[in-house]
Structure 1
Amino acid sequence: MKKLLFAFIASGLLFVSCSSDDNGIDNPNPDPPGTINDDLDAQAFMWNAMNLWYFWQADVPVLADTRFANDEEFTEFLSQHQNPSDFFFDILLFGEDRFSFLNEDYKELVNNLGGVSKSNGLEFGLVRFSEGDDIFGYVQYIVPNSNASTTDIKRGDIFTRVNGTQLTLNNYVGLLFGDNDTYTLGLADIADGVITDNSTEIELTKIENQVEDPILVAKTLDINGTKIAYLMYNRFLSSFNEELNAAFADFVAEGATELVLDMRYNPGGSVNTSRLLASMVYSTNTDELYIRQRWNSKIQNQLSDAQLEDYFASTTGTTPINTLNLNRVYVLATNSSASASELVMNGLAPYVDVIHIGETTRGKNEFSITLVDDRDNSFIYNADRENEINPDNSWGIQPLVGRNENADGFFDYTEGLAPNILLEEDLENLGELGDPNEPLLAKAIEEITGLTTKRGFSVQMPAKSFTSSRLQTPMLDNMYLDKVLNFEK
């Protein structure tokens, strides 16, 4: 039997170690109600963590501070929900929450947030055929130094079958994202809007601890004397901040005066990395506000303005930032662009002319934190406190805990950020990423230089994917907060 606390004094830090005997956070429930059965550890952890941190805590009746009068009521409530995953998704989440998630193994959750996962390195979108439940996939890019990079599969390839079975809405999850580490894709040809199976097969194997460098392409193009930096950036990973800064050092050294920031497949990641990238684009003026956080009332009311505000950065933490000091940036973004990608666009908007080419983005403007069953640390995951996490409960949750607004106060883009120039990817002409003739990049170059070409930008077969390989990983399109919060009276 273990003591159950309804709410906990919040510790001082997200993702970084910190301890304090008195951190100044008021406990809304000063009298803990008692004990629960050990079998309900996961459910009790989830309720307590969500009661304290969840952005919509006040809008979920079962998360109210006064919901339970005593231990018995609370234990009876938990006993009615034996499946922790169902309890989280069906009982605790607010109806408008599209993005909170969890993992039965918090270590896997943490690894995925760091860009480490089991993967074959094939990144793709899935599209429905115009009739029926059959679907097909198209290759968006190949992760370098992965299993897929050793095969003949490439960007633009179409596949319809896995192990000889036609992909459908009902079977694609099991075939592509199940426990089978090795599978064989059946490829197809595409011409004039028609997809036809061919005999080519590609065998792929998922590798443990596959790490993806989010910088797929970084180069400076010389277009009739105009130096245009091009960055294909596929996830906001703090472990690659120095490599990102080095890429901008090269842009500066090569005399780039324009930037095409390609985030068409970027589902998000670290909030702090988004701040660093924005600083590399615009400015290292640490007096200018990048974003301001909004938390639930329990947390918001106990934070000062200084704690809620993030300014443009002058260093990565260890290295001076290399900035292009631009007053405009061309962003390639699609419906696969989410969270931290959208945050960069919104955070730059008050200062920079953000010219968005592509499609309306996904519309994820909330951030999350990683919570585990470490009650003395207010459930906040801390790598230095592994021994303090309840050994009988390995669940980790990644709930939405706040929203970011830009310096103008704008944050409401749940419907996505609409493009200035609408241009979809064409399945019959995806082009090579980083090549000046690739359609989205070619359109940006045309806008930058003002030089029109004889080529058109008509799309024969739009790449309208309903999901992608990145959205089927434990990380999904998460935007996580990784900043220090020092709570003081």
Structure 2
Amino acid sequence: MKKIKFLLLGILASLTLVNCSDDLDDVIRPASNLEISQFIYRGLNFWSLYKSDVPDLANDRFESDEERDAFLESFESPEATFEGLLSPNDRFSILRDDYIELENALSGIRRSTGMRFALFNDPSGNGDVFGLVRYVINNSPAQDAGVQRGMIFTGIDGVLLTNTSDFDEIFGRDAFTLNLADYDPDTELFTLNGTNIDLNQIELTINPVHTARTLTVEGEQIGYLHYTGFTNEFDDQLNNVFAQFQADGITDLILDLRYNGGGSIETANDLSSMITGQFNGEIFIRQTYNDDRNPDNQFDRRFNANIGSGNNGASINSLNLTRVYVITTGSSASASELILSGLDPYIEVIQVGTTTSGKFEGSFLLYDSPDFRRTDAINPNHRYVMLPLVLRSVNANGLTDYFDGFTPDIVIAEDFRNLGQLGVQGEPLLDAVINEILLGRSAAAHYNTRELPAVFYSDQNDVLYQRMLNE
């Protein structure tokens, strides 16, 4: 009898401990693949911009929930379900297994060394790969360690980079050492120079206002802004830059979006209103959705006088310009391209650099909750979240579907042999714009027009890489 009493007491104690631990917010009760796949199917069936391209997402595809579930169980994982329900036209929708990571990214928080770089094949074709530092995030480990734009590296941790290297693994390490190299234009060879830089990854809150200054050139006041991401938490800082441009009396603006992969549509709307100001109330872009959702959700975003979507934000500091110069590369995407598209019907937009990515679709987070958007009723059994393409941007002239990107008026490509410093005269793309401002269009033959294709970008695995968000 005593044994039974003690056994019962032990069971009760165990149950009490389990119940107490279940109250902890960080406990995730495991969901089955089917449960997660049901969420994926519901979300894409409801919101996917390209729903009509996917027969399995048709509203009459299944006669019962049981038939639909049998279909979903044929996929081996939630990721396979997601991929199996995407349109061939959908290049940018993503699924992640932890919504906290995505929420942090939306706030500008990234795990990074602060070094933004690209990897390229050795021009000799020998199978080696070299890295080029494109810019360094302010107040980051890379900046503290002395990393600078234009630095070249050919090895990591003493191992040379080749086209068979696992770049995701190498640059995903918590810490690594750059092995710097020099390039000899005469021999066209890279040689390690003995300089090594130790870097570590930390959680960074990244201010996208990277470089802002007013350049005085031949008596002209020219504003320059290197802007790296449309992150709405920093809209006030962005607005402050335009206040300074106003105070400096700039007559021309160079907006450098060459490495800007996008972000918040609302911030793009606000930035366009900062550049202009004389078109308040006019359509910036129209957001359209799939046939099921469009009647209730089509939305016109308009040039406005306040930060954010309402009238309670700070007053926008507008320049009332009738012309803007925008520097782009193949890394300029989504909200960056929205600037080009949204402003084009109203003012002269002179694009300098190389062709943009070609992304006109927008997204928002879909949680496993009753309406996909509420965060107070999320399924506690998993943390999966989707960021699918849900909307199409259309400018005031009806322009959309620019899959091939925007081609510059002045074509000039970055050259790793002469990269220059951002915002400093002598940087080739900046000089090309200044030359256009002062002298008028120059012959493209004066410029390097060959863009070396990258094999890897440091931010390509960023959860918000080349995404445009309905935020």
Normalized against structure 2, the TM-score is what? Answer: 0.88
Counterpart of 1:206 in structure 2 is 201
Is 1:473 the counterpart of 2:466 in the alignment? no
User: How many angstroms apart in 2 are the aligned matches of 1:196 and 1:452?
Assistant: 39
Counterpart of 2:44 in structure 1 is 50
User: How many angstroms apart in 2 are the aligned matches of 1:76 and 1:458?
Assistant: 59
| Cα contact 1:236–1:274 (8 A) shared by 2 | yes
User: How many angstroms apart in 1 are the aligned matches of 2:116 and 2:33?
Assistant: 39
Counterpart of 1:338 in structure 2 is 333
Q: 1:355 aligns with which of 350, 355, 360?
A: 350
Counterpart of 2:86 in structure 1 is 93
| Cα contact 1:285–1:314 (8 A) shared by 2 | no
Q: 1:286 aligns with which of 265, 269, 280?
A: 280
1:291 is paired with a residue of what secondary structure?
strand
Aligned length: 432
Is 1:116 the counterpart of 2:124 in the alignment? no
| Cα contact 1:43–1:87 (8 A) shared by 2 | yes
User: How many angstroms apart in 1 are the aligned matches of 2:168 and 2:353?
Assistant: 31
Counterpart of 1:84 in structure 2 is 78
Q: 2:384 aligns with which of 381, 389, 395?
A: 395
User: How many angstroms apart in 2 are the aligned matches of 1:86 and 1:452?
Assistant: 50
Is 1:195 the counterpart of 2:190 in the alignment? yes
| Cα contact 1:228–1:257 (8 A) shared by 2 | yes
Listed one character per residue, the Cα deviations across residues 303-331 of structure 1 (whole Å, up to 9, x for unaligned) are 4xxx5111101010411111111111111
Write the letter of the residue equivalent to 1:143: I
| Cα contact 1:114–1:239 (8 A) shared by 2 | yes
Write the letter of the residue equivalent to 1:200: T
Superposed counterparts of 1:361-380, under 5 Å: 361-375=356-370, 378-380=371-373
User: How many angstroms apart in 2 are the aligned matches of 1:270 and 1:367?
Assistant: 9
| Cα contact 1:100–1:398 (8 A) shared by 2 | yes
| Cα contact 2:412–2:449 (8 A) shared by 1 | no
Counterpart of 1:181 in structure 2 is 174
Percent identity of the aligned residues?
Answer: 40
Counterpart of 2:5 in structure 1 is none
Counterpart of 2:422 in structure 1 is 433
Listed one character per residue, the Cα deviations across residues 391-419 of structure 1 (whole Å, up to 9, x for unaligned) are 11210110001110110000121101000
Write the letter of the residue equivalent to 1:257: T
Write the letter of the residue equivalent to 1:314: A
1:297 is paired with a residue of what secondary structure?
coil
User: How many angstroms apart in 1 are the aligned matches of 2:446 and 2:202?
Assistant: 38
Q: 2:438 aligns with which of 413, 434, 449?
A: 449
Change beyond 3 A, Cα 1:101–1:460: closer
Listed one character per residue, the Cα deviations across residues 420-442 of structure 1 (whole Å, up to 9, x for unaligned) are 00000110111011102211111
Listed one character per residue, the Cα deviations across residues 82-131 of structure 1 (whole Å, up to 9, x for unaligned) are 31112212x11101111111211011011112211111100011212242
Counterpart of 1:312 in structure 2 is 303
2:226 is paired with a residue of what secondary structure?
strand
Counterpart of 1:245 in structure 2 is 239
User: How many angstroms apart in 2 are the aligned matches of 1:197 and 1:69?
Assistant: 65
Q: 2:401 aligns with which of 389, 412, 418?
A: 412
Is 1:157 the counterpart of 2:151 in the alignment? yes
Change beyond 3 A, Cα 1:474–1:433: same
Change beyond 3 A, Cα 1:440–1:99: same
Normalized against structure 1, the TM-score is what? Answer: 0.85
| Cα contact 1:270–1:481 (8 A) shared by 2 | yes
Change beyond 3 A, Cα 1:418–1:274: same
User: How many angstroms apart in 2 are the aligned matches of 1:277 and 1:448?
Assistant: 21
Cα deviation for residue 284 of structure 1 reads 5.1
| Cα contact 1:259–1:330 (8 A) shared by 2 | yes
Counterpart of 2:264 in structure 1 is 270
Counterpart of 1:327 in structure 2 is 322
Counterpart of 1:31 in structure 2 is none
Listed one character per residue, the Cα deviations across residues 336-374 of structure 1 (whole Å, up to 9, x for unaligned) are 100000001110000111110000001111101101101
| Cα contact 1:290–1:347 (8 A) shared by 2 | yes
Superposed counterparts of 1:3-14, under 5 Å: none
User: How many angstroms apart in 2 are the aligned matches of 1:151 and 1:285?
Assistant: 45
Structure 2, unaligned runs of 5 or more? 1-30
Write the letter of the residue equivalent to 2:335: A
1:290 is paired with a residue of what secondary structure?
strand
Q: 1:258 aligns with which of 221, 243, 252?
A: 252
2:460 is paired with a residue of what secondary structure?
helix
| Cα contact 1:101–1:398 (8 A) shared by 2 | yes
| Cα contact 1:427–1:461 (8 A) shared by 2 | no
User: How many angstroms apart in 1 are the aligned matches of 2:420 and 2:340?
Assistant: 25
Superposed counterparts of 1:69-80, under 5 Å: 69-80=63-74
Cα deviation for residue 196 of structure 1 reads 2.2
Write the letter of the residue equivalent to 2:383: S
User: How many angstroms apart in 1 are the aligned matches of 2:189 and 2:446?
Assistant: 20
User: How many angstroms apart in 2 are the aligned matches of 1:461 and 1:92?
Assistant: 37
Counterpart of 1:423 in structure 2 is 412
Task: Say which one has the larger Rg.
Answer: 2
1:62 is paired with a residue of what secondary structure?
helix
User: How many angstroms apart in 1 are the aligned matches of 2:256 and 2:325?
Assistant: 8
Superposed counterparts of 1:137-156, under 5 Å: 137-156=131-150
2:431 is paired with a residue of what secondary structure?
helix
Write the letter of the residue equivalent to 1:309: D
Write the letter of the residue equivalent to 1:423: I
Write the letter of the residue equivalent to 2:112: S
Q: 1:228 aligns with which of 179, 202, 222?
A: 222
Alignment root-mean-square deviation, CA: 1.9
| Cα contact 1:138–1:158 (8 A) shared by 2 | yes
Write the letter of the residue equivalent to 2:305: S
Is 1:62 the counterpart of 2:56 in the alignment? yes
Change beyond 3 A, Cα 1:457–1:234: farther
